[in-house]
A and B are shown apart, each in its own frame.
Chain A
Amino acid sequence: MSFLREIIRRPAGAFGFGWITLVVLSAIVSSFWTPQDPFTANPLDGWLRPSAAHLFGTDSIGRDIFSYVFAATRTTVIVAGLSGILASLVGIGLAALGSLTKRWVRESIAVLIDILIAFPAILIAMLLAAVFGGSLGVVIVAVGVGYGVNIARVSRGEIRRVRATDYVLAARAAGVGPGGVLLRHLLPNIAPVFVVQLSLSMATSILAEAGLSYLGYGAPANTASWGRLLNDLQLYIGVHPGSVVWPGLAITLTVLAFNLLGDAIREASDPTLRGRSGSRGRSGSRRRDGARRRSGMRDQGKTP
């Protein structure tokens, strides 16, 4: 819990955490209830301006844009969440294999990673879609593997760097076995880089889903998706520029929230940064005093 407090103490972290929580809650609520059915067309109500009944207005065939954006959070959460998990597994798995195993295994993994990086996620998705048909699963696998290898490449270098440090040598000299070194020393110390990469890949997965849906390899027609809506509305951008703003804003804010949350997690997980950045800036908050008290105690501990 104190870790969460560390994160939301920072404005960026508070926004990232707050927005993503909101998106996740919307995803849950929209599975049961939306203000109006996002798929029901009312051709007579096309292009209504925002009002109490239609917060974001309606589109060309009279669908309620707010309900659609609201319902699409579910797709976003599923795609970002699952592709994030898959990317972590692929990334950490390949990175661990690529830095901790025997030399010939390491070298082959390195080549494999380089080959996979050469395939854009979009291309992987198109290949998969050609075989299995377009679906969210295709998007998740393509983005998960596509960004997983990126994570693997960055994490592999980080694992190598941390593995060469004295504290890993000291831990091994204390009798920590290969598994313990990985879990207790390597992974926590590459976490800052990993978390930032992961938040980037989750943010990108939202964009990738939008792009793939546009190409017809992503969400099927009966699944609400910000990307699909954006592409529907973008046809009319010259006539009704206002309506494109909503899905665009949703995508932008969510991607931003992922990036900011990643940064905040990175800072919060570094004990040397803890209690610092919050104590700068505006005065008067109780949290700030708490942070100062804590660092005061620390200074006492420092003097012998």
Chain B
Amino acid sequence: MSLDVSGLTIEIDGTRVVDDLSFTVADGQRFGLIGESGSGKSLTILSLIGLAPEIATVTGSVRLDGREILGLSERQLARIRGSEIAMVFQDPLTALNPLRTIGRQIGEPLRLHGDVSKRQAMSAAVDLAGEVGLPDPAGIVALFPHQLSGGQRQRVGIAMALACRPSILLADEPTTALDVTTQAQILDLFQRLVDERGSSLVFVTHDLAVLARVATDVTVLSQGRAVERGTVSGILRSPQHAVTRGLVDAARATTWTGGAE
């Protein structure tokens, strides 16, 4: 399934936060949006599934296989969300409902989009928990979010997003809130699952080193505008724009500090 974004403009109180942004994510492509904080990348990814905050005015066009997403009603969007496009959020500590068990949260999209019983959803949740590498899947589905570590919670978030085998997976800085070791594990998980399932990936981050592990193509955002696009390897080799050069330098610095080799 392909995603076509053209002329996406987001205004908040008359200020243009995202300005005439266009990009295409082909079927199975792994695409990255990178930019400093405040560059409008999170707003962009949220507006791809109609989740931009109410105060934001979103214009332009977002097409999913030719179908326009912008302007759909909340009910129509709910049918698409979770089944065709799903999303993983930045902070796993706050992205799970504290009052619902892990199993019910992983199984929720299945209950919503598939015709499955509670029991079936629960056993599917156990399978998914195993697939994302959670320990003791059969036991963990009965736990509450506060009983899990941050990395485990992010795995739950990923399991929830992948429950209905969406063809496009959105990820909004899914590793930013995690420590470096966990970060690497979660990125590997992303890579493996996206490969296995052949879904497209839209990955938002401010860290080029992270992006290089999961994405092949990238668009660089700065103050709501696309300043540079290309392949990740190409941009790493010869960054053109000043912002891109800054990101590349930052990525090199972290790799240098973190790598022993």
Contacts and interface: CB of A to CB of B under 8 A. Distances in A.
A188 B147 contact: no
Contacts of A165: 94
Interface of B: 46, 49, 51, 54, 74-75, 78-83, 86-87, 89-91, 94-100, 108-109, 112-113, 135-136, 139-140, 143-144, 146-149, 151-152, 157, 160-161, 163-164, 170
A298 interface: yes
Nearest to B46: A169
Interface residues of A, number: 28
Contacts of A271: 98-99, 144, 146
A30 B143 CA distance: 45
Contact of A167 (B87, B97, B113, B161): B97
B240 to A, nearest CB: 34
A11 B75 CA distance: 46
Given A172-B51, A174-B81, A271-B146, A166 B74 contact: no
A163 B181 CA distance: 32
A166 B136 contact: no
Interface string A183-217: 01100110000000000000000000000000000
Contacts, number: 101
A284 interface: no
Given A170-B157, A304-B149, A304-B152, A178 B89 contact: no
6 contacts: A166-B95, A170-B89, A175-B112, A177-B75, A271-B146, A304-B135
Given A301-B136, A301-B143, A301-B147, A172 B99 contact: no
B51 A169 contact: yes
A117 interface: no
Contacts of A188: 97, 99-100
A170 B140 contact: no
Counting chain A CB atoms within 10 Å of each CB, the highest count among B78, B82, B164 belongs to B78
A173 interface: yes
